[in-house]
Amino acid sequence: MMLKDVKGLGPKTLQKLQTAGILTLEALAIQDPKVMAGRTGITETIGTKIITQARLMLKETMALDFIPGSLAAKLLNVPTFSSGIRSLDRILGGGIRASALYEWVGPARAGKTTICSQCCVTVQLPPEGHRINVGKDETYLVRGRGGPAIWIDTEKTFRPDKVRQIAKRYGLDPKVAVDSISYVSAVNSQHVQWLIEERLPFILDSTGAKLIVVDSLIRHFGAEYIGRETLARRQQILSRLLQILLEYAAAYKASVFYTNQIRANPTPYGGPTKPAGGNILSHAATYRVKLRARKGEERVATIMDAPDLPEEEAVFYLSDLGLSDGTGTGTITSATPGESTTEALPDPDLPKLPPESGDPSIDL
């Protein structure tokens, strides 16, 4: 089924949708008629009709109408890929899930950008995976999604050389790995809005990306919206952007990463630091992970919030080749670029992934 198959959708309306970046049946089904009217010029009445029709057509593939629980269980069993860190995949319930938002919270040098860089590589690995060294006589199966990534950079932290180094570690062609990341540098908060609201659907449709990175989401908003009188407006915009990211993650079966900074807490309540962005960011994330540096190159990840996971910690290490477990090299054991070293069987090291949670609530 394609967008043109929607009942009552004429050529002119189809062209308006495509011009606005609504290019697939899935993208139409997740639209809000009022918001879509502002973007496309299509009246709310017509918009409601074609959106409803799209939702009915996707009843058994996106659960946008009531379906039996047995079918829902199959739909909620979404694809995953590995971070390349066995201990992190373990506390995340088996890996990075599609259709989910991941918030990585931490101070400078905690490893936020490195995790994003590494996952932009591992997502490109084939689903059957590559086996890597994680210690003496120990190996770990790292599975990918076989798809590219998107990187929205607000802090000028993206480093192609780092991606090339990580790609070599996993047996991928370094040039292909870098070119498979669609990169953009966002210069201010309005630019971030335009990229997510207007440009993102075109890039998702043209590349088939399976990972979207925003590093960091709060950067420009924190610098430009100063004072309590601007707080409500800032939070409304962030809420809308997070909702859009969640919608497109679901429509394109992609994972979304956004990094967040740590700010000093001026009140006597709670700890001395807290994540920036307030409740909007904390409630929007499907999985919220706090990162911190320990002695030397040791890093610790802690599950702060998750619908289906306990608060656990994972310890790993930072190196020129990215992030890895223990003292192992974390490099591929034996394969040429693009060649699989294992069969597509469940990894006994990882638990079975639980069903996906419901839509997270968002408040101020």
Q: Find out whether 240 and 86 touch, Cβ atoms under 8 Å.
A: no
Q: Are residues 54 and 105 in the same domain?
A: no
pLDDT, position 347 = 40
pLDDT, position 343 = 31
Last residue of a domain, one of 74, 89, 124: 74
CA 336 from chain center: how many Å?
A: 28
CA-angle at 266, arms to 260 and 267, nearest 5° = 115
Q: Are residues 54 and 152 in the same domain?
A: no
The band of 270, judged by pLDDT with boundaries at 50, 70 and 90, is low
Q: Does the pLDDT of residue 138 top 90, yes or no?
A: no
- Highest mean pLDDT, choosing among 13-27, 54-68, 129-143, 277-291: 13-27
Q: Are residues 63 and 82 in the same domain?
A: no
Over residues 231-242, the mean pLDDT reads 93
Domain hosting residue 32, numbered range? 7-74
Count: domains in the chain: 2
Rounded-to-integer distance, Cα 326 and Cα 45, Å: 58
Q: Are residues 307 and 160 in the same domain?
A: yes
Q: Please give the full DSSP string across 202-260, using - where no structure is assigned.
A: HHHHHH--SEEEEETSSHHHHHHS-SGGGHHHHHHHHHHHHHHHHHHHHHHT-EEEEEE
pLDDT digits (tens, 9 = 90+) for 156-209: 999 999 999 999 999 999 999 999 999 999 999 999 999 999 999 999 999 999
- The amino acid occupying position 324 is S
Q: Please give the full DSSP string across 137-176, using - where no structure is assigned.
A: TEEEEE---S--EEEEESSS---HHHHHHHHHHTT--HHH
> Which tokens sit at 173?
């062609």
Contacts of 37 (CB under 8 A, 6+ apart): 43, 44, 47
* Domain CATH code at residue 136: 3.40.50.300
> Does 241 reside within a domain?
yes
DSSP state for residue 5 in the 8-state scheme: G
pLDDT, position 158 = 97
> Does 332 reside within a domain?
no
CA 24 from chain center: how many Å?
A: 20
> Does 356 reside within a domain?
no
Q: Are residues 18 and 109 in the same domain?
A: no
> Which tokens sit at 282?
């904390």
Q: Are residues 221 and 299 in the same domain?
A: yes
Q: Are residues 122 and 182 in the same domain?
A: yes
> Does 145 reside within a domain?
yes
* Partners of residue 262 on adjacent β-strands: 275
Q: Are residues 45 and 98 in the same domain?
A: no
- The amino acid occupying position 275 is P
> Which tokens sit at 132?
């890597």
